[in-house]
Amino acid sequence: MKLIYAIVNNDDAHAVSSALTKAGYQATKLASTGGFLMAGNTTFLICSDDEKVNDIIEVIKNHSHKRKQYVSSVASYGESGYASMPAEVFVGGATIFVTNVERFEKV
């Protein structure tokens, strides 16, 4: 038995949730925030038999997409001032952790 933690950008959360449900997998959704951009994410918790883990990860991969986003960064110009310079970063996709489950009960 495995526990899958999948951290997904909020823009992809509905598609991932729908795809998991359609494929017959149950997931618990938690609101979360990333530390780098402080952007909203959704963390999915999915308990699964070992042999289904790769299928679940494929569903998540197929519905989580990386995209470019511009964010403000502060760059110094001389001694007297600061100006905001946009920086291009990639957001989206999914970060997935798989851990062993010692015990699972659904009561």
SS (H, E, C) 59-90: HHHHCCCEEEEEEEEEEEECCCEEEEEEEEEE
pLDDT number for residue 86: 76
In this predicted model, what pLDDT tens digit does every residue of 21-53 receive, in sequence order? 999 999 999 998 776 656 678 999 999 999 999
Q: How large a percentage of the chain has pLDDT more than 70?
A: 79
Bridge partners (DSSP) listed for residue 96: 6
Residue spans of the domains in the chain: they are 2-100
Write the single-letter amino acid at 43: T
pLDDT above 80 for 70 = no
Residue 43 φ/ψ, nearest 5 degrees? -105, 125
Q: Which fold has domain 2-100?
A: Alpha-Beta Plaits (3.30.70)
Hey, what are 66's tokens? Answer: 């990386």
The β-bridge partners of 6 are 44, 96
The band of 84, judged by pLDDT with boundaries at 50, 70 and 90, is: low
